[in-house]
Amino acid sequence: MAAPIQADELRIVTYPARVLLQRAQAVGLVNAEVRSVAGRMIELMYEAQGIGLAAPQVGLPWRMFVADVPAPRDDEPDSTRKRLTSETDPALPFSTQGPVVYVNPRLDAPKGVPEAVEEGCLSLPDIRGEVLRPPIVTITATDLEGREFTQTGSGLLARCWQHEVDHLDGVLILSRMTQRSRLKNRAPIRDLERGAERSA
């Protein structure tokens, strides 16, 4: 029997940690341990000033992620508001309105012409690059009460969902970036790899 997870000891892991490159396993029963881990993940996400965090990013091969995607502020420039929302269907949700936990999520029904938007990742410090993703997608997941829910989102919310589900499939933005962004990030990627080799 596996030892219980000490949620307060969880920390964000960085590339090239093996857990980030493997497909995560489905979460079974949503129990107290799962809820405790989710709570710690939300804390870590806020501490790192992120909008999403997947379980593999804290070293757990679970199909679960947390997100808190903000709505654009009234004083945001138009260029930022355009990135955060979606011109394809502005009536769709583009923020979470607080932290949300997604257990065993799956994505469906992507819509719209894929857009290139710069993304970062808490497991790839100091690395940012343009990633093409469709602006609208539907997610189905289980919440911390064990209830399944489905939502369609747009803009930054849809992008966050796709980014985090990629983590659950062992896919990082490094393999999604445009060629120009990959070239721009070659040096910092090598720095992360060499740092891991030195600490091994």
Answer for the pair 1, 38: CB distance below 8 angstroms, yes or no.
no
pTM assigned to the model: 0.90
Residue 22 lies in a domain: yes
pLDDT tens string 98-147: 999 999 999 998 999 999 999 999 999 989 999 999 999 999 999 999 99
DSSP-assigned states of every residue in 154-180: EHHHHHHHHHHHHHHTT--GGGTB-HH
Sheet holding 64-67, edge to edge: 52-54, 64-67, 100-111, 136-142, 148-154
Backbone angles phi, psi at 194, to 5 degrees: -70, -35
Structural domain harbouring 45: 7-199
Residue 71 burial (C-beta neighbours within 10 Å; 0-12, 13-18, 19+) = middle
Backbone angles phi, psi at 182, to 5 degrees: -60, -45
Establish whether 47 is a catalytic residue. no
Residue 87 lies in a domain: yes
Residue 178 has pLDDT above 60, yes or no: yes
Nearest alpha carbon to residue 142 among 31, 61, 4 = 31
pLDDT tens string 10-62: 999 999 999 999 999 999 999 999 999 999 999 999 999 999 999 999 999 99
Given the DSSP bridges, would you call strands 148-154 and 136-142 parallel, antiparallel or unpaired? antiparallel
Residue 1 lies in a domain: no
CA-atom Rg of the chain in angstroms: 17
List 9, 33, 164, 193, catalytic entry? 164
Number of domains in the chain: 1
Residue 2 lies in a domain: no
Residue 12 lies in a domain: yes
Answer for the pair 47, 59: CB distance below 8 angstroms, yes or no.
no
Answer for the pair 110, 84: CB distance below 8 angstroms, yes or no.
no
My answer on whether omega of the bond before 16 falls inside 30° of 0, hence cis, is yes
Domain containing residue 111: CATH number: 3.90.45.10
Residue 191 has pLDDT above 60, yes or no: yes
